[in-house]
Structure 1
Amino acid sequence: MRDAAGTGLRLRLAAKIPIPLDLSLSIAPGELLALVGPSGAGKSTTLRCIAGLHRAEQGRIDCAGATWFDPPTGQDLPPHRRPVGLVFQDYALFPHMTAAANVLAAMGHVPRPARADRVRELFAMVHLSGLEDRRPAELSGGQQQRVAVARALARDPAILLLDEPFSAVDRATRRRLQAELAALRRSLAIPILLVTHDLEEALALADRMVVMHRGRGLQTGTPAELLTRPASAEVARLLDLHNLFQGRVERHEPEATFLRWGDRLLEVAPAPEHPPGALVDWLVAGAGVVLHRRGRPSAGERENPVPARVLDLLPMGEEARITLDVGDEARGTLGFSMPLHAALRNGLAAGEGCTVSLLREAIHLMPQVPPDDRVILAGPARA
């Protein structure tokens, strides 16, 4: 494997046609960065720019201490000169060749006497030892994708690019491949860029995520940062975060900010960046919604109590997904999860009344975006 220590990837891309791009990002050696966003956001185009398969109008790409793309100097390395390991959604294996031959095809830079040992090493790394002589048609989808990963690593790449790598396999196989990638990446000292539509996949694998929309990177951060502190309601919707409402900042006190939400006044953590009178979007994480238990009140229930009515209780194994009508003027609903036995013990059912508290530290305020600029996405709620 190449020694890319201290170098990683730095990228800046700009274009108006055929696909708009306005993106800057960096990936450290050993880091996995995920690009997430809706179809047409520019995720795969970004990956193709790095691989040299698409040329942006402007920008710069530096990787492993070398400049791959820099229009002002005329630098634009062709794909075969960029040490990239690329894994496609559809495997892209040669059907007439064995699995080992597919991997050997990427080893033109390796001395011939060393190739056989390197193939065995790679097949062991991706848990395919003993299957070297099978052709792609004789392998399952998951096994074919492991061959594709081995072939990508056979190039001794300076960066590993994964374009929706597990979307063509069933859910159980996808989870196994994700676990194997999580283990494999610990032995790789190169940056990894993952393009995915699967938010759960990104959350499970990524050190950081970039939320993209219309070719722009709207926010970069750790999964925890993006899920609890999105930069805007637009980002929250792209991440399928619900519990999203609108309000107005009422006032600031030394240890709290007060938020007007309809006829309610909520206490939130100090947010002096939003002046009194400012209209804001706000959300509360599902973990910050506390059910008032019947007959057993707790200290946390004193924070921002909100009367509600159960719209739906969806059992999900040992958990229950609760959706509440909280009388929001824009008809927004509040969702959270809790153990199913606790929900039943507290008498939760469709149509029943209850009270919940919204913990102040879990409430996050965001500048309100004009309606014409909002992203409206349909989909299941995520607390």
Structure 2
Amino acid sequence: MAAEITIHLVKTFPGRPPIRARIRYPVEGATVLILFGPSGSGKTTILRSVAGLEWPEEGTIRFVSRVWLETASGIRVPPQERHVGYMSQDYALFPTYTVTGNIAYGLSHLPSAERKKRVDEVMELFQLRGLEQAKPRELSGGQQQRVALARAVAPRPLLLLLDEPLSALDAPTRLHLRDELRVLLKQLALPSIIVTHDWAEALTLGDVMAVIRAGEVLQVGAPIDVFSRPQNADVARVVGVETVVKGRVVEATGGMLRVSVDGTALLALEAESIGPDVFACIRAEDVVLEQGRASVSSARNHLTGTVQSVTMLGALARVTLDCGFPLVAMVTRSTVEEFKLAPGLVITAAIKAGAVHLVSRQEA
């Protein structure tokens, strides 16, 4: 029987919808679960419940063979006995401690020599050499994040819990450290649960993703499956990106990247630290439908597709095309009527290169 994590809980708060989470998924050495949803949806409460920092009124939390919570049997394992690593959104570094002191904080149970050895190992892993005596205020945002992560990992936890680990960083640093964090998590071979509301982080970091809204878990699955095949309209509204497909960068020239998606070529703007394996992400409102080829168009992508379905949504319509890969467009009702959009119709989809957003992925 495969090892699993089970999270079933009910947690109530005054004046807010109750959190009713049911998540169960197989876990291996480096499996990353993403808790994804808007602010206030209950993601952090679920994470803190797994850590033992929140106590649900009802529920069960199991990690492999360990039962951390089972309210029906009166089992409530305290945080310090769960052996998890926890990193909060603001990092919570001790301002008067050095980098070494912060990392060593959770190692007081070890003899002095072992504690020093473990701190040295973690300093090396997280590229913190030369900062041993620095205080948090002397570090950059990226360095603070690495110190906080190193402190969480140093005691060799069974499970790593990260609450919005990149949100405190500026955009360029966040982009760089997103890929770096994925590599580190794989190197650590440590199961992790990460809270985020950023879809690019979810795709980059996650193996499994739970979409949460108003305390309810709406869908659980591989991130690309959830983004590209939301099981209902509520999930589609939360994830917000209608087309997410796997691709491979095959050429870079003139500031453009040519990406092959199941044999179909897409042009995207060149970006740093991208490829060769990517997710190509396109929002439905960035897809323009044309009959034939428009005489004047700044779009670099003109894809011939066959209409698979047309779903009316009031004044708008969601149109799904087969362009060699599934592509979703959002158009007006008048466009549906003018083009006589219906299943089987062949039409052109125009997409600007800047609207094709590439996110790095690691090929299994």
Instruction: Please give the TM-score of this superposition, normalised by the length of structure 2.
Output: 0.68
Amino acid at match of 2:198: D
Q: How far is 1:17 from its partner?
A: 3.9
For the 8 Å contact 1:304–1:359, the answer to whether it is kept is: yes
Q: Provide the C-alpha distance between the structure 2 equivalents of 1:43 and 1:98, rounded to a whole number of angstroms.
A: 31
After superposition, the C-alpha distances for 1:327-382 in whole angstroms (9 at most, x for unaligned) are x772327799xxxxxxxxxxxxxxxxx9798987xxxxxxxxxxxxxxxxxxxx99
For the 8 Å contact 1:33–1:208, the answer to whether it is kept is: yes
Q: Which residue of 1 aligns with 2:179?
A: 179
Match of 1:9 among 1, 5, 10: 5
For the 8 Å contact 1:9–1:62, the answer to whether it is kept is: yes
1:304 aligns with 2:302: no
Match of 1:25 among 23, 26, 35: 23
After superposition, the C-alpha distances for 1:5-58 in whole angstroms (9 at most, x for unaligned) are 964522111234456122122351311111111121110000110111110011
Q: Provide the C-alpha distance between the structure 2 equivalents of 1:304 and 1:81, rounded to a whole number of angstroms.
A: 56
Q: Provide the C-alpha distance between the structure 1 equivalents of 2:38 and 2:22, rounded to a whole number of angstroms.
A: 18
Q: Which residue of 2 aligns with 1:330?
A: 314
Q: Provide the C-alpha distance between the structure 2 equivalents of 1:72 and 1:165, rounded to a whole number of angstroms.
A: 33
1:125 aligns with 2:125: yes
Q: Which residue of 2 aligns with 1:142?
A: 142
After superposition, the C-alpha distances for 1:260-318 in whole angstroms (9 at most, x for unaligned) are xxxxxxxxxxxxxxxxxxxxxxxx968997653359xxx97472399xxxxxxxxxxxx
Would the alpha carbon gap of residues 47 and 12 (structure 1) be closer, same or farther in structure 2, given more than 3 Å must change?
same
Larger mean Cα displacement after TM superposition, 137-146 or 14-23: 14-23
Q: Provide the C-alpha distance between the structure 2 equivalents of 1:192 and 1:329, rounded to a whole number of angstroms.
A: 38
Q: Name which one, 1 or 2, has greater alpha-carbon Rg.
A: 1
- Determine helix, strand or coil for the equivalent of 1:174: helix
Amino acid at match of 2:307: N
Q: Provide the C-alpha distance between the structure 2 equivalents of 1:305 and 1:10, rounded to a whole number of angstroms.
A: 37
Would the alpha carbon gap of residues 227 and 290 (structure 1) be closer, same or farther in structure 2, given more than 3 Å must change?
farther
Would the alpha carbon gap of residues 195 and 140 (structure 1) be closer, same or farther in structure 2, given more than 3 Å must change?
same
Would the alpha carbon gap of residues 305 and 104 (structure 1) be closer, same or farther in structure 2, given more than 3 Å must change?
closer
Amino acid at match of 1:199: W
Q: Provide the C-alpha distance between the structure 1 equivalents of 2:342 and 2:118, rounded to a whole number of angstroms.
A: 56
Identity, % of aligned pairs? 39
Q: Provide the C-alpha distance between the structure 2 equivalents of 1:356 and 1:131, rounded to a whole number of angstroms.
A: 65
Q: How far is 1:89 from its partner?
A: 1.2
| Map 1:335-374 → 2, pairs under 5 A | none
Instruction: Please give the TM-score of this superposition, normalised by the length of structure 1.
Output: 0.65
Larger mean Cα displacement after TM superposition, 184-193 or 82-91: 184-193
Q: Provide the C-alpha distance between the structure 2 equivalents of 1:329 and 1:197, rounded to a whole number of angstroms.
A: 25
For the 8 Å contact 2:99–2:147, the answer to whether it is kept is: yes
| Map 1:216-231 → 2, pairs under 5 A | 216-231=216-231
Unaligned runs of 5+ in 2: 244-282, 296-301, 321-337, 345-354, 358-364
Unaligned runs of 5+ in 1: 244-283, 307-325, 337-353, 361-380
Q: Provide the C-alpha distance between the structure 2 equivalents of 1:64 and 1:84, rounded to a whole number of angstroms.
A: 13
